[in-house]
Structures are given as C-alpha cells and as structure tokens.
Amino acid sequence: KLSKLYLKNNFVEDVGSQHLGNALRKNRIFDSANSQFGTVGIQYLADALQENTTLLRLHFEENDVGDLEAQYLANILHANRTLNTFLIGSNPFGHHGAHRLADALCNNLPKLCPAATSSTIGSYPYAVFIDQNNKIYVTNQQMSSVQVWINDSSLPKTIAIRNNNYPISLFVTDDGTIYVDDNNNYVTSWLLNKTGNQSSLYTGETCYGLFIDKNNSLYCSLSDNHIVITRSLNRSDNQTAIVAGSNCFGFLGNSLYYPRGIIVDTNYSLCVADCQNHRVQLFRLGAGNTTTIAGWGPPVTITLYYPSIF
C-alpha cells in the first residue's frame, strides 16, 4: 500500500487538493513542497491529515503559507501525535502564524502520566527512550524490566529482562526492536508483543549508552573502559571497533573519563556525554581531533556536572 507521496513542484490548486485530501488518511510521508495549493486547498489537506494517525514526515515548504494557512497546519499538529519531521521553510506567514504553530508544537508531545511514582517506574529508572510514535520506554531495575507506555496510557506494558538482570541502557529502532543492555555483558533485543529476547550481542562490559545509526551499526559506551565501541548488526560475527577513547581515562580532547550517553547524527558524527570530565565531546567521522561542544574545556560553553544522558 502507498505510504509515501512526493508531490512537490506541482500546481495543484484548491480542487486538486480536495481530491488529494481524501487519499491522505494513511500516508506516513507527504512531501508537497512548492505545490501551490491555495488557501482552500490547504484547508482541505489539513482536515484530511488531522485524521491521519501514521504521518511521520510533512514537507510544506514554499507553499505561500500565510497566517490563516498556518492555523490550518497548526490544526494538524494539535491532532497528530506521530509526526516527527515538519518542514515549513520559505513561507510568508507572520508572527501570528508563527505563534499558532508554536502553540501547536507544544501540544505535539507525548503525555506522561501525571500520577507516575516510584511504584510505577521503580526507584532507579536508569534510561528513558521516546520513539517516533511517542511510545515511552523506561528501564525499571527493581522489576528487571522495560516498561512501555503506549498512546498516553497510564498503565505500561512490561518486558521482563532475562535472568532478572538490571537493565542499564536502551534504544528502540524505527521498526520497534528494543535493544537493552542487561548489565551482564550482553545487549539483548526484544519485541513488544513477543515472548523472549530475539538476539543477544556480547559486549564484554556494561553499555552505559546505546545508539543504532541509519546503517544499522550499534554503538556502545563501555564506561568502565573509557571507550565507545561500534559493531554492525548486519554481520553475524562479534567484531567491534573503538570509535572514541583509548582504554584509559584521560582529560585531553580524544580521551574519555567514564563516558555515558551517546548520540550519532546523520553524518555519523558521535556525541559523547563524557561524565567524569564534565563535558560533551563531538567526534566527527574521519576527523583526527574532537570538539568540546558543552562543559569543561575550551571553548568554555555551558557548565555541566557529570552529564550522563541526552
């Protein structure tokens, strides 16, 4: 079935927009940059997209969106909880339109249960992850589990981690696979509605931070070894490579001191929460040096104190 519709650089106008609106209730990606919809056409599309419960990306650049049209688009954001990319550059709306969109974006966030307590998530919720569908994942060390809140539910689903271990870090891929460090030298993968873990990856030490990039490479911060390693999930062997740090704590730019949280961007640059050095380090792919982007060290920026997660 159709999940992506690329319509940019077309002269659609109002009537065409009405027909398109009837077909846009299930798409995940809608790229309509520079399509000249018109005010009424944008209203038709906005009405249809408010009923779309799967939309992830909306491209609406260069569509002559003024303040009124911005309100129609804001209505999408008020109704939609799955959207994670909204591009609306090169449009002439003013401060009224910007205000309406900003209000809607504030609403387009996952809702946490206001009554959450330690009995709900345990005393040590070491890691939290929110996916593109606004599911909330929390490691509950007291229950040796990962708890998942879906669609603003106040009651979570529970995934029991093997051998009653204490989960440390987690990452969830776009297809819903949940990767968890079980605090016993393994990263295990799980699916929400299936019993038992799907695979186990030996890491040799506890991963205090996990990330999986768009090439399906897993990154793991081995805090006790002061390094970040990576391995491809597309390979069957257990071959790893060090991408940051040097197996010995240090203070110079390329060294780490108990690294924790990690993020890899679309250019494969690695950001590391260098915990005991009170800073965040940026390791660019192929670059020989690193940059301190926050915390201790030149250039002095935001002061940090034991940064651990992003």
Q: Are 82 and 140 members of one domain?
A: no
Residue where a domain terminates, one of 90, 107, 124: 107
Three-state SS for 234?
coil
Which of the residue ranges 38-52, 132-146, 199-213 has the most confident prediction, judged by mean pLDDT?
A: 199-213
Q: Are 217 and 196 members of one domain?
A: no
Quick one: average pLDDT of 39-68?
Answer: 83
Q: Are 12 and 34 members of one domain?
A: yes
pLDDT computed for residue 152 by the predictor: 65
Q: How far is CA 48 from CA 43, 87, 157, in A?
A: 9, 18, 31
Q: Are 261 and 275 members of one domain?
A: yes
Residue where a domain terminates, one of 60, 76, 107: 107
For residues 84 and 74, give the distance between their C-alpha atoms in angstroms, rounded to a whole number.
14
Contact 255, 291 (CB under 8 A): no
* pTM flag (> 0.75): no
Q: Are 82 and 136 members of one domain?
A: no
Q: Are 309 and 266 members of one domain?
A: yes
Residues 74-85 have pLDDT tens digits of 888 888 777 777
Give the model's confidence band at 103: pLDDT under 50 very low, under 70 low, under 90 confident, else very high: confident
For residues 99 and 73, give the distance between their C-alpha atoms in angstroms, rounded to a whole number.
12
Q: Are 88 and 149 members of one domain?
A: no
Q: Are 227 and 212 members of one domain?
A: yes
Q: Hey, which bits of the chain come out as E strands?
A: 4-6, 29-31, 57-59, 85-87, 128-130, 136-140, 145-149, 157-160, 170-172, 178-181, 186-190, 199-202, 207-212, 217-222, 227-232, 241-245, 259-264, 270-274, 279-283, 290-295
Contact 163, 197 (CB under 8 A): no
- Tell me the CATH number at 17: 3.80.10.10
Q: Are 22 and 103 members of one domain?
A: yes
pLDDT computed for residue 155 by the predictor: 80
Q: Are 221 and 292 members of one domain?
A: yes
- Tell me the CATH number at 143: 2.40.10.500
pLDDT computed for residue 294 by the predictor: 86
DSSP state of 287: -
pLDDT computed for residue 2 by the predictor: 53
Give the model's confidence band at 19: pLDDT under 50 very low, under 70 low, under 90 confident, else very high: low
Range of the domain at 177: 114-202
Q: Are 307 and 214 members of one domain?
A: yes
Q: Are 285 and 304 members of one domain?
A: yes
Residues 226-283 have pLDDT tens digits of 999 999 998 888 788 999 998 888 888 789 999 999 999 888 999 999 999 999 999 9
Q: Any idea what the Cα angle at residue 210 is, between residues 208 and 212, rounded to 5°?
A: 170
Residue with tokens 């303040």: 67
- Cα–chain center distance at 16: 34
CA atoms within 13 A on the CB side of 295: 21
pLDDT computed for residue 58 by the predictor: 81
pLDDT computed for residue 228 by the predictor: 94
Residues 145-203 have pLDDT tens digits of 888 888 767 788 888 876 667 888 999 998 889 999 988 888 988 888 777 677 778 88
288 pLDDT more than 80: no
* Count of domains observed in the chain: 3
27 pLDDT more than 60: yes
Residue where a domain terminates, one of 202, 218, 245: 202
